[in-house]
Amino acid sequence: MDSPVTDDQTPFPQQLSDPAPAASAPAESDAGSGAAAGAEPGDDVLRDRFHRVRQEVAKAVVGQDGAVTAVLIGLLVRGHVLLEGVPGVAKTLLVRSLSASLSLDTARVQFTPDLMPGDVTGSLVYDSTTGDFSFREGPIFTNLLLADEINRTPPKTQASLLEAMEERQVSVDGLGRGLPDPFLVAATQNPVEYEGTYPLPEAQLDRFLLKVTLDLPQRGEEIEVVRRHAAGFNPSDLADAGVRPLAGADDVLAARRAVWRVSIAPEVVAYIVDIARATRQAPSFQLGVSPRGATALLNASKAWAWLSGRDFVTPDDVKALALPCLRHRVSLRPEASMDGVSADDVLQGILATVAVPR
């Protein structure tokens, strides 16, 4: 089980990591409370619930505000998140804590070299009493799926996630079976060990809305992690840690509708396109961002703007999401990698040169 460790280098600005909740939002104690029966809560109420969800996760996970925000953004725009970090940085605990605070179902799949596609999606099982085959759902039929060490399983099993991530259904015996809504895949991969791994193909990497890098904690944060364990913290018992549901699936769906209403000016849309096109012309990249990547950056920026309390997107929102949204959609040339250049370095340079709309 992962320990409640923190990420000391969040890919998101600090102001979104802990934004001030709306002053008009009422205090609530139960998921979905505070709104009249049958009435959809207002934006301020919804926003406050998601702010307090982050605080709830912090009862079990030290720091990692950026990673928590990334998963929330993924839920709000029907995206998926790739978490990269060494073992023991609380990737599993983070997803479990977030699921508990959102009152969502969660499942974890440990990807191994012998894992078969049916182990993830489900399969037909023969019923000897009826003489018929019935479909037994796999762990993918959940709200939050933690695909642990996804790069340790062969491409055939990795590909079994593709249809589910894009179409939100699985096909078995010619029949499509819809997945629950909301549905999000939080996949993890270890950047250190490469022996026995199968790098994700570009087509599957492009299915992830965001890629977040989880680094080891700083000294003070690691002291807090160990102190909690010394005081009796049990990662397997989130209820004992005080984690409780403060929102539900209906809140996620309502917030998603609110995000779609966020406006974006034509010049900001052009700014996103200019960034994407600049990656295709960068000498250090052999593969730039596709139009799908530009659309993903637009959607993620809208979710961030909404979480920040605005109904419009600013260029700063785009800049803030550019790295986690684009870093896995580009490919460095071998000579650039040999010179020690990273994708983030090149993207930072592009952001510094592309004209910002005023």
Structure confidence at residue 34 (pLDDT)? 42
Output b/e per residue, 34-67; b: 16+ Cβ within 10 A: bbeeeebbbbebbbbbbbbbbebbbbbbbbbbbb
Q: What is the pLDDT of residue 322?
A: 96
What is the pLDDT at residue 189? 85
Q: Centre a 10 Å sphere on the Cβ of residue 287 and count the other Cβ atoms it contains.
A: 13
Q: What is the pLDDT of residue 24?
A: 40
Written as six digits, the tokens of 143 are 């709200």
Q: What is the pLDDT of residue 179?
A: 92
pLDDT for 1: 41
Domains along the sequence of the chain with CATH:
14-256 (3.40.50.300), 262-358 (1.10.8.80)
- Which residues of the chain have a pLDDT value below 70? 1-39, 192-196
pLDDT for 230: 92
Phi-psi category of residue 105: left, alpha or beta, with phi > 0 → left and psi -120 to 50 → alpha: beta
Considering the entire predicted model, what is its pTM? 0.85
